[in-house]
Amino acid sequence: MELLAKATRGMRAITEAGLALLCLGVVLQVLFGAAVPFIQVDVVGSVVDVTKQLGSEGLVGLVAVWVLASLYSRGVA
């Protein structure tokens, strides 16, 4: 059980770090435009593409976003 708890804490830390980096990338692209020298990926474009893809799935995409958001807000993810 201890191993599972450690793995869960590790995954939670990795997820939080990824979200922090994603937010940092969005803020930097908003402030400095698409030509941020050390970010080689269009972060805002990628977020928009994922949002469009989930939106094109209709109700299934909205349910998927709702489930993921509720899991993350409860601290499960």
Q: Between vectors from CA 28 to CA 72 and to CA 11, what angle results, nearest 5°?
A: 30
- Host H or E run for residue 65: helix 59-74
pLDDT of the residue at 75: 60
**Where in the chain are the domains?**
2-74
Question: d(Cα 6, Cα 14) in Å, to the nearest integer?
Answer: 12
Tens-digit pLDDT profile for the chain (77 aa)? 899 989 988 988 898 888 888 888 888 888 888 777 777 788 888 878 877 877 777 777 777 777 777 776 766 54
Look up residue 61 and give its two tokens: 């995409």
Q: What is the pTM for the complete model shown?
A: 0.63
pLDDT of the residue at 6: 92
Please tell me what DSSP assigns to residue 9: H
What's the whole-number average pLDDT of the chain? 79
